[in-house]
């Protein structure tokens, strides 16, 4: 199952532009059926250097693509309408949007680094808005949403705890629909120093602290400081944002530029690999002067100063750094690196760090009976079922039954 990421933030920060640029490769866009102003779902990509070069083979990708040495892994992106103050209490269809946002693994939170929106998300003069308080406003809405689901179920949680259910279990129950697990709640209780306090004695400030920790732990987030090319001194702005939000991973970005580059690539005007630090103009004769200027601007002011447009970096850091995903290549023929049909390195599976050979077996074949061990293709050694898989491992499972 593909990982899911929600794109959140105030209105006009560039969420839809991010989504459009990130999903352009596949163009698969569908809508959630249950609201009028709907969250939009599409397929974006995480990218990782493919192992086919290391083994000097041609691959036949099935569940992903291989473009110029990069494995392109599908992930699901959700574009949400802007959140407004009071969304947690239902303002501006807040209930629908927040519940859709919660049914995902992680967030990309976009802020307008150029300060060209006001605090209600209306377009304003550059430099007049405040991306730091915009960030905090949205975070407050998220925390309040978790708090609402804790406090709103106080009696029920309390009753369950007093009937002998573990505190972490009872608190997790009303949060299941928000993809919160007992592991998240236990960690949050520890971090909020509430592990030894009885839930009945939680003050409102305790519950809010817990809500804030659950938010951070259960939805890893990267912040995208967008419209960076509009800023005259981007280094200063980035420094200010980072100083004010020390616990947050912030990536400078120009979603508009990525959109332009991918469009130009799609039309064959340029050669550009998503997330790359440069591009090559192929059809100069077909470009207007204005288009050439736009590309030159991107080369100089976006790629030249920030290395990338930030989009691919945001998705990749979320998947590989914050969700701690490792890339695993399962094959059935370790000599040929192929599956039963002879396709070389067909699939790549994202497995959370800490996953074992046994977890991989379950992921690939839910009906698997006895996996005996795995063979590590790179080093030619046997890996026991409890072996912790590492990034870029290529493994061949050896099973007891011949059911597959
Ligand atoms: N200069 C600049 N404008 C951008 C960028 N990304 C988005 N915009 C503009 O900001 C406005 C809002 O963008 P949109 O993606 O609809 O924002 P959303 O409301 O957050 O979905 C549009 O006019 C975009 O063209 C960017 O990287 N740079
Ligand atoms: Mg939008």
Q: Please write the tens of the pLDDT for every residue from 340-371.
A: 999 999 999 999 999 999 999 999 876 666 88
Residues 6+ positions from 130 with CB-CB distance below 8 Å: 115, 119
Q: What are the tens digits of pLDDT across the range 241-271?
A: 999 999 999 999 999 999 999 999 999 999 9
Q: Are the CB atoms for 343 and 302 separated by under 8 Å?
A: no
Four-point Cα dihedral 284, 290, 294, 296, nearest 10: 50
381 three-class SS:
strand
Q: Does ligand 1 come within 6 angstroms of the Cβ of 11? A: yes
Q: From the CA of 14, how far away is ligand 1's center (Å)? A: 4
Q: What are the tens digits of pLDDT across the range 272-304?
A: 998 899 999 999 999 999 999 999 999 999 999
pLDDT bucket at 34, cuts 50 / 70 / 90: very low
DSSP letter (8 states) at residue 401: S
Q: pLDDT value at position 402?
A: 53
Q: Which atom of ligand 1 is nearest to the CA of 253?
A: 27
With the most atoms of ligand 1 within 8 angstroms of its CB, the residue from 7, 11, 17 to mutate is 17
Residue ranges of alpha helices (H) inside 219-283 are 234-244, 255-266
Q: Map out the domains of the chain as residue ranges.
A: 1-39+80-323, 329-399
Return the number of other C-beta atoms located less than 10 Å from residue 334's C-beta: 17
| 329-399 shares the fold of 1-39+80-323 | no
Q: What are the tens digits of pLDDT across the range 155-193?
A: 999 999 999 999 999 999 999 999 999 999 999 999 999
CA distance 180 to 34: 22
Pairing of strands 325-330, 349-352: antiparallel
> What is the assigned CATH class of domain 1-39+80-323?
alpha beta
- The candidate with the shortest Cα–Cα distance to 315, out of 80, 13, 23, 69, is 23
CA distance 318 to 339: 30
Architecture of domain 329-399: Roll (3.10)
Cβ-count burial 25-46 (b if 16+ within 10 Å, e if not): beeeeeeeeeeeebbbbbbbbb
Q: Is pLDDT above 90 for 51?
A: yes
Q: Does ligand 1 come within 6 angstroms of the Cβ of 218? A: no
pTM over 0.85: yes
């Amino acid at each position: 199952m593909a990982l899911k990421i929600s794109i959140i933030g105030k209105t006009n920060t560039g969420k839809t532009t991010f989504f459009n640029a990130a999903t352009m490769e596949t163009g698969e866009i569908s809508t959630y059926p249950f609201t009028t102003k709907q969250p939009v779902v599409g397929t974006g990509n995480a990218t990782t250097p493919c192992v086919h070069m290391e083994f000097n083979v041609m691959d036949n990708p099935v569940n992903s693509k291989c473009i110029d040495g990069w494995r392109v892994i599908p992930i699901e992106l959700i574009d949400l309408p802007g959140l407004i103050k009071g969304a947690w209490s239902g303002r501006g269809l807040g209930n629908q949007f927040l519940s859709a946002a919660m049914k995902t693994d992680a967030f990309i939170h976009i802020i307008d680094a150029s300060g060209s929106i006001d605090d209600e998300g209306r377009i304003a003069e550059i430099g007049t808005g405040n991306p730091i308080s915009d960030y905090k406003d949205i975070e407050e809405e998220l925390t309040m949403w978790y708090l609402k689901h804790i406090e709103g179920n106080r009696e029920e949680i309390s009753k369950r705890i007093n009937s002998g259910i573990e505190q972490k279990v009872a608190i997790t129950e009303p949060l299941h629909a928000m993809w919160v697990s007992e592991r998240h709640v236990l960690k949050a209780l520890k971090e909020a120093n509430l592990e030894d306090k009885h839930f009945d004695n939680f003050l409102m400030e305790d519950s809010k602290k817990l809500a804030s920790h659950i938010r951070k732990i259960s939805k890893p987030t990267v912040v995208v400081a967008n419209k960076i090319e509009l800023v005259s001194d981007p280094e200063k702005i980035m420094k200010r944002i980072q100083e004010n939000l020390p616990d947050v991973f912030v990536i400078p970005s120009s979603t508009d530029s990525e959109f332009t580059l991918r469009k130009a690539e799609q039309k064959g005007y340029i050669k550009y690999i998503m997330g790359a630090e440069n591009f090559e103009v192929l059809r100069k004769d077909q470009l207007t002067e204005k288009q050439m200027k736009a590309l030159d601007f991107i080369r100089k002011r976006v790629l030249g100063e920030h290395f990338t447009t930030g989009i691919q970096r945001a998705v990749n850091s979320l998947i590989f750094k914050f969700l701690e995903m490792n890339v695993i290549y399962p094959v059935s023929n370790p000599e040929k690196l192929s599956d039963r049909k002879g396709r070389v390195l067909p699939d790549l599976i994202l497995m959370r760090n800490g996953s074992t050979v046994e977890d991989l077996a379950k992921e690939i074949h839910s009906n698997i009976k006895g996996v005996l061990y795995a063979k590590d293709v790179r080093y030619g050694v046997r890996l026991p079922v409890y072996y912790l898989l590492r990034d870029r491992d290529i493994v061949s499972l050896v099973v007891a039954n011949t059911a597959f």
